[in-house]
Amino acid sequence: MKVSTFLRTACVAGLVSFLAGCAHDITISGDNSALVAKTASPISKTVGLVITDEERQKEVITPGGGGDKVSYKPYQDLELPIYLELSNLFTDVVKLNSKPDASVTQAKKLSYIVTPVITTTSSSPSLLTWPPTDFSVTLECTVTDLSGNLVVKKSVTGSGHAEFSEFKRNFGLAAQRATVDAMQKLQASMQDSPELRQ
């Protein structure tokens, strides 16, 4: 290969890489002490929270600032906050790696199965720094009975914003604020669902 051809190819590859930006790892779950406290009258039922190993390993990449991107694992990061919020609502919560069969539901004394779907967005107007200043977490929780019949489906969206001066070493701050907002809204929404107390 000619030197001029090699240099041209290298320059094109470098330009593509620059335009594509980098993906920086962040965590979208922060201080769980900011979550809402346990309700005064929790629902007297045991629920199973289904998050599969495949979901835990699912990586999501969304925009940051400066043309860069951020990467994170929403199901892995949010499994504990979701579990804690459900624990605030129900007398007991059981983590499950897959949809349970009859033997599991009987052994765990489950009343409902909760299956979450998580979607996220992020953005930043900065041309110089990569952490996202705005983040959203949409959490849709489907609650079914042991026969698979829909009991209730709740969808909430949490939003988080962080200024550049706040980041310090916590580059996922906007995302973590969005997570807390989503969890608080989820608990309030599910708490007001009479279907779950039947």
| Weakest mean pLDDT among 21-35, 133-147, 157-171 | 21-35
Could you say which architecture CATH assigns to the domain 22-197? Answer: 3-Layer(aba) Sandwich (3.40)
Show the 3-state SS of the chain. CCHHHHHHHHHHHHHHHHHHCCEEECCCCCCHHHCCCCCCCCEEEEEEEECCHHHHCCCEEEECCCCCEEEECHHHHHHHHHHHHHHHHEEEEEEECCCCCHHHHHHHCCCEEEEEEEEEEEECCCCCCCCCCEEEEEEEEEEECCCCCEEEEEEEEEEEECCHHHHCCCCCHHHHHHHHHHHHHHHHHHHCCHHHHC
Query: How is the chain split into domains, by residue range?
Result: 22-197
Whole-model pTM: value is 0.86
Chain segment 61-101, per-residue pLDDT in tens: 999 999 999 999 999 999 999 999 999 999 999 999 999 99
Tens of pLDDT, residues 120-155: 999 999 998 999 999 999 999 999 999 999 999 999
